[in-house]
A and B are shown apart, each in its own frame.
Chain A
Amino acid sequence: MTAMLGLCGAGLVSADGRGWTWPPREQVKQDGESEAALRVSRVSPEILTDPVALKKLRRADRFSKMAALSAWDAAADAGLSAADLETGTGIIVTTAFGPHGATFDFLDEILDFGDEGVSPTRFSHSVHNAAAAYIAILFGSRGPTCTLADFRWPLRGGLSLAAIWLREGRGRRIFVTYTEESSKPMDYIAAQRRSTGADGFVQPFRLSSDPRAVLSEGSVCLVLARPEEGRVVLDPARFDGEDALVDIASLREHLAGLRHPGIAGMGASAG
């Protein structure tokens, strides 16, 4: 049985942008793909260049930057100061596929330069928990961090662990981030093993009980605390995986970080 959680803030990075100031939705067509091929929504590179939030993350990979930006915005939405974040903060990153872009970059190096010519930086960014480490560095947080990989219900596992950490007193607030990135090889796999919406898009954050479902990219972060400390009480049992973001979107009236038309659109299309 999972305890109820208090939701204190949220942050979101998606193809539609970040926070309140959203650039136009960018729908990127892959080089050389046919009209029938998969279309994928990507996060614009401009979004991942925030000089303040990403000052300590200049060398970070795309996956880590998306996760960290959503956590940064979630902290702001929750009204947390830098001093608040240094103590009592737990960080959980959940994902289905992890930073595979960094992994493919590393494979490129093996193919191009051989086993003994690869970059150590590219290798360290291909490790799944790099994003959690970057968020901890960004916040100066010495609390627990954990990264969970789950093809079916990544967010649910993170919420469950957050409830445990709060009950055990491992943190007073837990950042639970759910992050996915896209890449050409993963798009190809999605085309072979895809689960798409009626409009032909892979549905961002739409998880299917079919473990072969593939996502578009983005990151959402929730700041969680004990129920009495949240703006709204969240029942983790609602997050059964199929429509996780629809459930999150339903909370947007409470959370400035989620108040965005793109979320409502996703909710409508996934509903």
Chain B
Amino acid sequence: MSRPVIYVTGLGVVSAAGASCADTLERFRMARRSPGPATVMETTVTKPVFEVSELRHGGAPAEMRTLALAFQAVEEALAAARFAGRAPCPRVGVSLGTTVASQLNDLEFYRAFRTCGHAPIDAADRYLRGNLSAAVALRYGFSGPTATVVNACSSGTDAIGIALAWLRDGRCDIAIAGGADELSRIPMDGFHALGIMSDAPCAPFDRDRRGLSLGEGAGILVLETAESAKRRGVEAAFACEGYGTCGDAFHLTAPREDGSGLEAAIRQALDDAGIGPRDIGFINAHGTATPTNDAVEGATLARVLGGDCLVSATKGYTGHTLGAAGGVEAVFTVLALREGWIPASAGFVHRDPAIPLAPVERMTPVAKGHALSTSLAFGGNNSALVFGGVR
């Protein structure tokens, strides 16, 4: 029995690379990036970050910044999908990934509690209202299945994989999928303690890379069954074709050096899409710019897909947006398929002789066939998505 085709009918994105898909493409064309000191959090760690400067929903004290980022991307995606989302929508699911929004990590709340045994409860209320998928579902009246995936840096990719499965399984007709995350002092201090943050804006796959830069954002796809899109009179040019995920069972913060977990995830995603490695036109690589990630990922991609495969590494524009990264980069992948080009890999200057492939140095045409987006995460999660033109 053939699997149902799952269309991508809407895209929305916000990151330091732009406040919308159009804005992002414009910055990609100009190869412009805008890292700087953190202004949305206080910390003595002075590494450059990639902040979102145009946040339309920002400023409500009762709302997590992650939600504001998510709402902005969801609204762009829903508009692109021509879906008004009038409640109730029982056949619309929400599957989103995050990290920061899942933690009760308000330092001022905790400081007060630690000092005197009680604290203003508004921080806790903000947290309790902040489950990402539940908040999006509530705001837009979507009452289909919900999942908030907290798989660290592969959260967004895995959330899209779950949404794909729901749609194939008939659990909903439309799914809002992707991820969102805000800049926060906790991961900033934590990654600094791990010694994997760069003093300069990150340089994925570069010979002289010194680590990651943190970012924030949201990337949202509206995924939809062909029947639903047809019923609504919406045409789609691209589909979410496959998903794979495998664990390393190795270490809490480091990938397996042989990349076997990532390789298995990629092969699963290709099988799921019914295509082979040579059908992939380009890869949006995880490319965090840490020495270990890029070495393992680069070697694995070259082994599975060939050293001549075109690689796009976009964290040089966005920083590492953690739980949002899979969603943000899935949007970039579909945009690249749509536009027929991938952007120059910001920050990449010198090829690393230890890595058997390199990301593109300039805006590069790509075939409108199939593309792969990869994510690696704390905990040894390796996940991959395949997107392609509607056949």
Residues of A with Cβ closer than 8 Å to B? Answer: 1-2, 32, 91, 97-98, 100, 103-104, 106-108, 110-111, 114-116, 118-120, 123-130, 132-134, 136-137, 139-152, 157, 160-161, 164, 167-168, 170, 184-186, 188-189, 192-193, 211-212
A130: min CB distance to chain B, Å? 6
Chain A: CB-nearest residue to B272: A168
* CB contact between B264 and one of A115, A127, A142, A192 (< 8 Å): that residue: A142
Contacting pair A150 B146 (CB below 8 A):
yes
Contacting pair A91 B247 (CB below 8 A):
yes
Contacting pair A130 B117 (CB below 8 A):
no
10 other A-B residue contacts (CB within 8 Å) besides A130-B379, A189-B121: A104-B110, A133-B252, A136-B380, A145-B381, A149-B131, A149-B148, A150-B131, A160-B171, A193-B125, A193-B128
| 12 pairs of residues in contact across A and B, judged by CB atoms under 8 Å | A115-B188, A123-B186, A124-B194, A129-B152, A136-B379, A142-B246, A142-B249, A144-B246, A145-B381, A146-B158, A150-B131, A161-B162
Contacting pair A111 B121 (CB below 8 A):
no
Chain B: CB-nearest residue to A86: B249
8 closest residue pairs by CB, A with B: A123-B190, A133-B379, A128-B150, A120-B193, A136-B249, A129-B379, A120-B194, A115-B44
**Chain A CB within 10 A, most for which of B125, B162, B193, B378:** B193
Chain B: CB-nearest residue to A117: B193
Contacting pair A147 B151 (CB below 8 A):
yes
A159: min CB distance to chain B, Å? 12
B260 contacts which chain A residues (CB < 8 A)? Answer: 142
State in angstroms the CA–CA spacing of A114 and B107 once bound together: 12
Contacting pair B253 A143 (CB below 8 A):
no
A131: min CB distance to chain B, Å? 9
Give the contacts of B166-185 with A (CB-CB under 8 A).
166, 169-171, 185
A129-B381 CB under 8 A given contacts A140-B249, A164-B169, A211-B134: yes
State in angstroms the CA–CA spacing of A142 and B244 once bound together: 13
State in angstroms the CA–CA spacing of A108 and B110 once bound together: 9
Contacting pair B131 A148 (CB below 8 A):
no
Does B304 lie at the interface of the complex (its beta carbon under 8 Å from any beta carbon of A)? no
Contacting pair B380 A133 (CB below 8 A):
yes
Contacting pair B249 A137 (CB below 8 A):
yes
Chain B: CB-nearest residue to A145: B247
B323: min CB distance to chain A, Å? 10
Does B192 lie at the interface of the complex (its beta carbon under 8 Å from any beta carbon of A)? yes
Does B261 lie at the interface of the complex (its beta carbon under 8 Å from any beta carbon of A)? yes
Chain A: CB-nearest residue to B118: A188
Contacting pair A146 B110 (CB below 8 A):
no
Contacting pair B186 A126 (CB below 8 A):
yes
State in angstroms the CA–CA spacing of A193 and B127 once bound together: 12
* CB contact between A98 and one of B102, B111, B169, B193 (< 8 Å): that residue: B102
Contacting pair B190 A126 (CB below 8 A):
yes
Contacting pair A212 B117 (CB below 8 A):
no
A190: min CB distance to chain B, Å? 10
A98 contacts which chain B residues (CB < 8 A)? Answer: 102-103, 150
Contacting pair B247 A148 (CB below 8 A):
no
* CB contact between A115 and one of B189, B246, B253, B381 (< 8 Å): that residue: B189
A188 contacts which chain B residues (CB < 8 A)? Answer: 113, 117-119
State in angstroms the CA–CA spacing of A120 and B378 once bound together: 13
**Chain B CB within 10 A, most for which of A1, A2, A127, A185:** A127
B152: min CB distance to chain A, Å? 5
State in angstroms the CA–CA spacing of A160 and B172 once bound together: 13
Does B248 lie at the interface of the complex (its beta carbon under 8 Å from any beta carbon of A)? yes
State in angstroms the CA–CA spacing of A97 and B148 once bound together: 12
* CB contact between A129 and one of B103, B124, B150, B268 (< 8 Å): that residue: B150
B119 contacts which chain A residues (CB < 8 A)? Answer: 185, 188
State in angstroms the CA–CA spacing of A168 and B3 once bound together: 11
State in angstroms the CA–CA spacing of A193 and B121 once bound together: 9
Contacting pair B113 A145 (CB below 8 A):
no
* CB contact between B378 and one of A91, A100, A116, A129 (< 8 Å): that residue: A129
A147 contacts which chain B residues (CB < 8 A)? Answer: 149-151
A184 contacts which chain B residues (CB < 8 A)? Answer: 113
Contacting pair A103 B252 (CB below 8 A):
no
A137 contacts which chain B residues (CB < 8 A)? Answer: 249-251, 380
State in angstroms the CA–CA spacing of A125 and B249 once bound together: 16
A104 contacts which chain B residues (CB < 8 A)? Answer: 110
State in angstroms the CA–CA spacing of A130 and B146 once bound together: 22
Contacting pair B114 A111 (CB below 8 A):
yes
B251 contacts which chain A residues (CB < 8 A)? Answer: 137
* B332-358 vs A, Cβ < 8 Å mask (1 yes, 0 no): 000000000000000000000000000
State in angstroms the CA–CA spacing of A139 and B249 once bound together: 8
B30 contacts which chain A residues (CB < 8 A)? Answer: none
Contacting pair A126 B103 (CB below 8 A):
yes
B237: min CB distance to chain A, Å? 26
Chain A: CB-nearest residue to B256: A142
A2 contacts which chain B residues (CB < 8 A)? Answer: 171
Chain B: CB-nearest residue to A183: B104
B191 contacts which chain A residues (CB < 8 A)? Answer: 123
Does B291 lie at the interface of the complex (its beta carbon under 8 Å from any beta carbon of A)? no
A161 contacts which chain B residues (CB < 8 A)? Answer: 147, 162
State in angstroms the CA–CA spacing of A2 and B102 once bound together: 26
Contacting pair B253 A124 (CB below 8 A):
yes
State in angstroms the CA–CA spacing of A2 and B131 once bound together: 23
A150-B247 CB under 8 A given contacts A103-B104, A192-B121: no
B194 contacts which chain A residues (CB < 8 A)? Answer: 120, 123-124
* CB contact between A144 and one of B114, B188, B245, B378 (< 8 Å): that residue: B245
State in angstroms the CA–CA spacing of A197 and B99 once bound together: 32
B151 contacts which chain A residues (CB < 8 A)? Answer: 128-129, 132, 145-147
A127 contacts which chain B residues (CB < 8 A)? Answer: 99, 152, 378-379
